[in-house]
Amino acid sequence: MSEPAEKRLKMNFPMCKAHRAFVGSKAKQNFPAVVEEGLCGISTSVMEFAYRLEALAELFEQDDLPLSRVAAFFHQESTREQARAEALVQYLSERGGHYCNKVIRRPGTEQVCALLPALELMLGQWKEEMAIMVELCRLAHEHEDPHTISVVKSHFLRPLVPKIKLLGDLLTNAQRVGCTIDGTAGFGEYLIDQLYKELNSA
């Protein structure tokens, strides 16, 4: 006998464990409670991603590591992630769901001191975001919520594909020009900083 669908979720899927359903909503229709909880949890995760990217942007604005174009790229992506989080909350509201305000965790960028680990952290973040979006689609499919599947695929999942490709290319180029995890190869980081047009094209 197979396990219930709710118990087969990946361990890193950010369900909102303290979710409070909006019982009196007139807009709620064919909106499974487990999908609502998943959307609530993912919204907070994306907000945390935006906070992490903003912290990385500020790292490259410091006078000991001044890479202004790289900083602008991280600022831009932080703004886009924040907009994605707000769009998730708006979709949740439109379906008659309820968003639970939660404490945003620290960005966890204290050990990052160079461009290469910052790009690796960003790539890992986008891969994690894609994984939880895929898991949300699977969850919505199991609970017969095709509308959520369509919205997540078109507005949140597909835009991540070119971003991950871009980050993979940037990491490869950063390694080729000699960037290191401790920032000792400063010229390589300077060369990457000059690729602002490529960074800004995502």
Please tell me whether 81 is known to bind a ligand. yes
CB neighbour class for 158 (10 Å; exposed up to 12, middle 13-18, buried from 19): exposed
According to DSSP H, which parts of 21-159 are helical? Answer: 33-59, 68-94, 115-142, 146-152
149 contacts: CB under 8 Å, gap ≥ 6: 137, 140, 141
Which residue matches tokens 């994306």?
46
In single-letter form, the type of residue at position 142 comes to E
3 state DSSP class of 157: helix
Distance CA 8, CA 14 (A): 13
Cβ 178 vs Cβ 193: under 8 Å? no
C-alpha span between 202 and 193 (Å, rounded): 15
Write out the binding residues.
81
Write out the binding residues for Fe cation.
81
